[in-house]
A and B are shown apart, each in its own frame.
Chain A
Amino acid sequence: EAQVTQNPRYLITVTGKKLTVTCSQNMNHEYMSWYRQDPGLGLRQIYYSMNVEVTDKGDVPEGYKVSRKEKRNFPLILESPSPNQTSLYFCASSFQGLAGDEQYFGPGTRLTVT
């Protein structure tokens, strides 16, 4: 089954404790992206990757890191989480990242930072 998976689905952590949210897709997509979703603000892009070893900042990259060492994986790293990073996070992938490409979203990771 074609899908994007994220882990963990739920995470409660404390300020400053490094964490990683994994994202994996099995569709051989070149383009992958991370979003955060907050009430009233919609989806905001954090980072994106056009292909292996190619990453770029989205609209809200501060406080986040990503890496793309393999085509299928695109982990999101919070080196020192803060309460303002409490949010719902979505990973997405698409074939080539062209404007009309359908993005496939993972199920989401709900992160709480206390």
Chain B
Amino acid sequence: GQSLEQPSEVTAVEGAIVQINCTYQTSGFYGLSWYQQHDGGAPTFLSYNALDGLEETGRFSSFLSRSDSYGYLLLQELQMKDSASYFCAVRDDKIIFGKGTRLHILP
């Protein structure tokens, strides 16, 4: 079956850097996406990696290693507004999301 594993919670300090990992097991693989969801809100797209390596978008970066079936989302210069849940997702025919990582930021 298909599955994605990510930590349920991560805590970091404002201004610091945090990494949220995602390992996947899928029958087919076209790339890894990341979404952010604030409490009471809808998920919003952050990034997508199809090839190995690091993709940078402002304070957020995403990394993929296809050989290791592993990726991560890196958030730099953390701000309180980054407190949210973060989901990795893969698409085969269906779209499979991880269960999400709740990011807590301490002042």
- Contacts from A to B (Cβ < 8 Å): 33, 35, 40-45, 48, 56-59, 90, 92, 98-100, 102-108
Total contacting residues, chain B, CB less than 8 A: 24
A105 touches B42 (CB 8 A): yes
A43 touches B97 (CB 8 A): yes
- Residue among B90, B95, B96, B99 with most chain A CB within 10 A: B95
**Minimum distance in angstroms from A97 CB to a CB of chain B:** 8
Q: Which of B13-21, B43-51, B70-78 is near enough to bind chain A?
A: B43-51
- Contacts from B to A (Cβ < 8 Å): 8, 30-31, 33, 35, 41-45, 48, 50, 87, 89-91, 93-100
Taking CB atoms, residues of chain B closer than 8 Å to A105 are 42-44
Taking CB atoms, residues of chain B closer than 8 Å to A59 are 94, 96
B94 touches A45 (CB 8 A): yes
* Interchain residue pairs with CB less than 8 A apart (28): A33-B95, A42-B87, A42-B97, A43-B87, A45-B95, A45-B96, A45-B97, A48-B94, A48-B95, A56-B93, A58-B94, A58-B95, A59-B94, A59-B96, A90-B42, A90-B43, A92-B43, A99-B33, A99-B48, A99-B50, A99-B90, A100-B33, A102-B45, A103-B45, A103-B95, A105-B43, A105-B44, A108-B42
